[in-house]
Structure 1
Amino acid sequence: MRIGNTLYLDHQASTPVDGRVLAEMAPFHSELFGNPHSSDHRLGWESAQAVENAAASIAALIGVNADEIIFTSGATESNNLALLGLARRAVGGKRRRVLVSAIEHKCVLAAGRALEERLGFSVEQIPVDDQGFVEISALETTLDDDVLAVSIMAVNNEIGTIQNIGSLSKLVRSLGCIFHCDAAQAPVAMNMNCIGDYVDILSLSGHKMYGPKGIGAGYVARELQDRIEPLIYGGGQQNGLRSGTLPTPLCVGMGKAADLLAGDDAEERRAQLRSRRDGFIEKLMNLPWPIALNGSEGRARHPGNANIRFGGFSAHDILGALQPHVAASTGSACTSGIPEPSHVLQAIGLTGDDAEASIRFSLGFDTKDEDIMEAVGQIEGVLKRLSHAGLVRSA
């Protein structure tokens, strides 16, 4: 996908809004603008029905009931509602431990720190292997009947590893623990129509699935809803779990995006994306530098994810030199302006230097074969220039 002069290979950061999603949303910005909570007139009823339809679409995507879908501002809010909401209602109870995988999104890890510092819970990280899969033996050893919840993401946002949620669920639930899953990256990566059978709470984000930004959803099993303390209080909307006027156009857009990713052609689109991703990786591996893939391979990986390690180079140097021609991202995050190596890449055993030599390229359904060829050519040219400039260390 080309945006002006830039090849966009950062779809795991944000996907473009599908044109069919935009078309579905448009009327709710203009003539169908009624407040969905206005229950005394037709415009309110129409907006309310549109929101209900969107919730039903999202519920169908993951195999649950529409009244178990709670709209939020995004997966970060959904993750916070899940972990903080559960813990606030469980203060003083027997279950005082929470387990999270070592490669969770920063918002889950930050929520975990809040549980420790503000509510006195013990939050422990479950290690992963060198491909990013949760170590089952470590989880078995750590689980006990004092664990309140376990949070494991379905698809990693940096290295694309797809966890076996069914197997993990069986283990977690065997001791009565609540299983939370950050599934923000999952709709593009996998068929989710049975995931609701395996999790108790799940988080989604509109802009990771070809929907709009500013909207997300949380699935909260019906029997758990009275065990969640809201983060936002007000008019008691959405079963009292998340008050506030719902943004009808955004809800409609996310619902339409869910319909498209649950459609008959979704698996074919994923297969095509996977094939292009594999071709991209193969072409990069054939370049005359020590280049390697971080994480798992094949179908156990997000079909658009290619987290590539350029041995001896700096990812920031490469990305800077690629501008404005290729948009991708490093696996590192900035906290208070201080760069730090990716916790995900460190968790799978990479050294600091190797982590800082890694770039996440994430292809999308709109990536074309010619985009891949051009991107590889741009990368090859940059590596040559950096090598000639002496900006490479011994790998």
Structure 2
Amino acid sequence: MNLNSNIYLDYQSTTPVDPKVIESMSPYLNIYFANPHSTEHTMGKFVSDNIEKSRIKVARLINSDPKEIIFTSGATESNNLAIKGAARFYKNMNKNEIITTNSEHKCVLESFNSLIKEGFKVVILPVENDGILDVTKLSNAISNRTILVSVMALNNEIGVIQPLEKIGKICKLNKVLFHSDCAQAGGKIELDVNKFNLDLLSLSSHKMYGPKGIGCLFVRRRPRVRLDPLFSGGFQEKGLRSGTLPSHLCIGFGEAASLANKMMSSDNSRINYLSDYFLNYLSKKNIVYKINGNKNLRWQGNINIQIKGINASKLIENISNVSFSLGSACSDNAIEPSYVLKSLNLTKKEAESSVRISLGRMTTEEEIEEACIRISSVIHKLYKQKDQNSYD
């Protein structure tokens, strides 16, 4: 491998578009470009029919009816539509309470907080120190005024997997809607809307080797889940999401979902091997690390670790051509520990020593081997600088 070549290890942030997805999308940009809602002519009908085939492919990924798939611009819109749409519709039925956790994606937490101004009672449950929700605490929090529970399937920062099946049973027993942000889970772990008793589920194409700008919301038909739409328009997508569908993006999303179904097992086997290789290499080089979050209930492609004696921002500053993320967020030009890491009750020092390295379908063994060399050499360089400063 060329020493100057870039190694991308930030797959939780976004994924490259699979070549087969690009190939499937291309004709819909300049050959089959008709409006999919203009079904009175041949080309429009052809495009519309193929979008429906894509809807079927997405539905298969989560074991739903294709009629329950609503295309959106991505998981952020899907989460907003699920949370605000359900809350506003069912508020008229003398209910005003919604429940989530403190480690959700920002768009979920901001959607919840925005509803406080509309008179809703927002309950944000803390996760345990391993990032997993205690389902007993959830059960105790639900009341006869609860409309919705929203819990992410696979955490974008620390990779832990929540017990969706247990949560779904609790919600069904209490006749409460269950929504899950599955943007990070799509194509990585099993998603079954019936097994998990999900009423609403959000997906994002660009997290599973599809194009950016497209996602979907699963909305259960039986028993029927009702939502207030976020905006008005031409009643596309069953009146829940008005606007002309971007044909090429829908086609690409469908192909990405189809590939995810076929390749999930092989992808995970290879990613698990590469993840183990990376962590074992650190140990061999006497680099002390600790995994953030539950060590067992996790997706192994997300390696969020504290590296003892290292400031993570300095590590990233000093390493060239390896793309990975801090375990912290930038706010007002100041580095502050991520709220997700704070939810694990990490100290500021522990959070500041945390990095997220995420692997994916296109990650090669050669890249991991080279990344191990580059990262470990910089860590030891920082160790030496620290020792020299201490001596001085």
TM class by shorter-chain length? over 0.9
Q: Distance in 1 between the 2:109 and 2:162 partners?
A: 18
Question: How far apart are 1:197 and its partner, in Å?
Answer: 4.9
What whole-Å deviation, never above 9, does each CA across 1:181-230 have from its counterpart, x for those lacking one?
Answer: 00001123212245665210000000000100011111011257662111
Report how far residue 393 of structure 1 moved.
10
Matching of residues 309-324 of structure 1 within 5 Å: 309-323=306-320
Asked if the contact 2:75–2:202 (Cα under 8 Å) also holds between the matched residues in 1, the reply is yes
Deviation digits for residues 20-65 of structure 1, max 9, x if unmatched? 1111111101110110011221111011111111111111110111
Residues 116/375 of structure 1: CA separation in 2 closer, same or farther (3 Å cut): same
CA 393–111 in structure 1, closer or farther in 2 if over 3 Å, else same: farther
How high is the TM-score relative to the length of structure 2? 0.94
Say if 1:63 and 1:197, in contact at 8 Å, map to a contact too. no
CA RMSD of aligned residues (A): 2.2
Q: Which residue of 2 aligns with 1:291?
A: 289
- Single out whichever of 89-98 and 176-185 deviates more from structure 2: 89-98
Please state if 1:168 is matched with 2:164.
Answer: no
CA distance in 2, matches of 1:126, 1:153: 13
Report SS of the residue matched to 2:148. Answer: strand
Asked if the contact 2:282–2:288 (Cα under 8 Å) also holds between the matched residues in 1, the reply is no
Classify 1:224/1:79 alpha carbon distance in 2 versus 1 (closer, same or farther; 3 Å). farther
| Rounded Cα–Cα distance in structure 2 between residues aligned with 1:348 and 1:97 | 25
Shift of 1:285: 3.1
Q: Using the alignment, how far apart are the partners of 2:190 and 2:388 within structure 1?
A: 41
Q: Does the residue aligned with 2:61 lie in a helix, a strand or coil?
A: helix
Pick closer, same or farther for the CA change 1:249–1:159 going to 2, 3 Å.
same
Deviations 1:105-161 (A, max 9, x none): 0110111110112x1111111222222111122112211221110000110101111
Taking the aligned partners of 1:383 and 1:18, their CA distance within structure 2 comes to 33
Deviation at 1:239, TM superposition (A): 0.3
Task: Check the 8 A contact 2:309/2:383 in 1, yes or no.
Answer: no
TM-score between both structures, scaled by the size of structure 1: 0.93
Query: Is residue 369 of structure 1 aligned with residue 368 of structure 2?
Result: no
Q: Report the residue type matching 1:318 in the other structure.
A: L
Distance 2:330 2:254 in 1: 32
SS where residue 218 of structure 1 aligns?
Answer: strand
What does residue 387 of structure 1 align with? 383
Structure-2 change in CA distance of 1:345 and 1:290 (3 Å): same
- Which residue of structure 2 aligns with residue 333 of structure 1? 329
Do 1:209 and 1:257's aligned partners in 2 also have CA atoms closer than 8 Å? yes
Q: Deviations over 1:85-104 (max 9, x none)?
A: 11222335432111111210
Partner of 1:238: 237
**Does the Cα contact within 8 Å between 1:312 and 1:393 map onto a contact in 2?**
no
Aligned residue for 2:37? 37
Unaligned stretches of 5+ in structure 1?
none
Query: Does 2:294 match 1:273?
Result: no
Which residue in the other structure is 1:183 paired with?
182
One-letter amino acid matched to 1:307:
N
Residues 57-66 or 338-347, more deviating: 338-347
- Going from structure 1 to structure 2, the CA distance change for 1:24 and 1:196 (only over 3 Å counts) comes to farther
Letter in 1 for 2:315: I
* Structure 2 residue 227 is the aligned partner of structure 1 residue 228: yes
Q: In 2, are the aligned partners of 1:312 and 1:392 still within 8 Å (CA)?
A: no
Three-state SS of the structure 1 residue aligned to 2:294 is: coil
Give 5+ residue unaligned stretches, structure 2: none
**Shift of residue 246, structure 1, vs aligned partner:** 0.4
Task: Please tell me whether the aligned partners of residues 229 and 241 of structure 2 are also in contact (alpha carbons under 8 angstroms).
Answer: yes
1:384 to partner: Cα distance:
2.1
Change (3 A) 1:165 1:359: same
Q: State the secondary structure of the residue aligned to 1:133.
A: coil
Task: Return the letter of the residue paired with 1:63.
Answer: N
What amino acid maps onto 2:49 in structure 1? Answer: Q
- Residue in structure 2 matching 1:305, options 302, 305, 313: 302
Bigger mean CA deviation after superposition, 120-129 or 60-69:
120-129
How far residue 356 of structure 1 moved from its aligned partner, in angstroms, is 1.5
1:273 match: secondary structure: helix
- Report the CA distance shift for 1:98/1:290 in structure 2 as closer, same or farther (over 3 A): same
Distance across 2 between alignment mates of 1:370 and 1:318: 21
